Structures are given as C-alpha cells and as structure tokens.
Amino acid sequence: MDNPENFSYSVNARYDNSQCAWVFDVQASAEAPTGTCSSNYINVVNGNEAGITEDNYDIIVYGFRNLNGCIGTGGNMFSNSVCSAQHEDNHFQQFVQELEDERVKFLTKPSMSDMPIVCGDSSTETCQNAVTARFTAIYTDILIAYATAFDLAHDENKAEEAARECNEGIADIVEAYWE
C-alpha cells in the first residue's frame, strides 16, 4: 500500500449549549493506493505465460513460495492479481484498524477538547475564531493520526500470510507445468 493520497479535511466548531463551549467536528479522508507490483507485471495463472521459461520457472516458484508474490527475473515482473489483491487487502484492513485506533486517540487530544466561551477573549467568541485558534493543532494531530496508522499498517508478515495459500497454489501450478 502506497502513501495515502488526496488527503482532505475540514474542521468546524459548533456551540454546545449545555457547556457554553465550542465543540469541534473534524472530517478527514484519503485514498489508499495499493499494488505489490508495477502495473506491467505478467499475471501468472496457468504457468505457461510468456516470459516463464525452463531457465527461470524455479526462481518464479521460489518467489511465490517464499517472497511477497512479486517476482522479478529476466527483466520481467511476475505476480498473480488475485494473490496480490489478497495481500493488499490485508494491508488495507490493517490500515482501517489502525486508523480507528488512532481516531480514538485523536479525540482525546487537547486540540479536540471543548473550548469554553470566555467573554473578552475574541478567540472564543465565534465559531470561526475558535476554529482559527485550534486549527493548526487539530491539523497537526490529524496528520499524526494518519501517518501513524499508515506506518503501523505495513506489517508485511501479516500481508504475506494472508496471500500465502494463494501464492503457494500459483507456485504449484508453475512447478507442475514445467516439471
């Protein structure tokens, strides 16, 4: 999974009458591009795909059995789109879980605490002034949450395990074809 792209966010304040305070609402989103191989890999399904030869099939079998399912040899990249999707889906699920954990932490940050309205303190007298006063801190905390979730979602062992059975099945097909 590549770094999140098209990151967008909004920060708004709304009045909480019961506390005479501004409460902050944050919306954030990003795209999470995925892909274990470049877009020009040879999709191995039958074992007889162009580029697989008697000289390199053992490297490809080894790669599917022991690596991440993206094998480079002889100037070509070999993978299986179904197995790659399973690998990447696991990264995405890790990201979603980590992002939820970070969301819970984010909501407890000082930047997200209610802002009491204090007469004479212009930064608290309107919702726009409250947003302006907290914006940098909230934005920084949003970025930290996304970056932390993204970093934690890169457990290659989990992603490889999620696709292991699929990759081993492709290795078996390639091996059977060439032996």
Per-residue pLDDT tens for 114-132?
999 998 999 999 999 999 9
Is residue 139 within 8 A of residue 111, CB to CB? The reply is no
Query: CA 98 to CA 177: how far, in whole Å?
Result: 41
Mean pLDDT of 129-147: 94
| Total of domains in the chain | 1
Residue 18 lies in a domain: yes
What are the tokens at 92?
A: 């995405």
Q: Is residue 5 part of a domain?
A: no
Tens digit of pLDDT for each residue in 21-58?
999 999 988 877 666 676 789 999 999 999 999 999 99
Backbone angles phi, psi at 165, to 5 degrees: -60, -40
- Report DSSP state, residue 107: H
Residue 32 included in any domain: no
Q: Running DSSP on this structure, what letter comes out for residue 111?
A: G
The confidence score (pLDDT) of residue 179 equals 86
2 in a structural domain: no
Q: How far apart are the C-alpha atoms of 87 and 67, rounded to whole Å? A: 12
What is the Cα 67 distance to its own chain's centre?
A: 21
Structural domain containing residue 133: 13-24+37-178
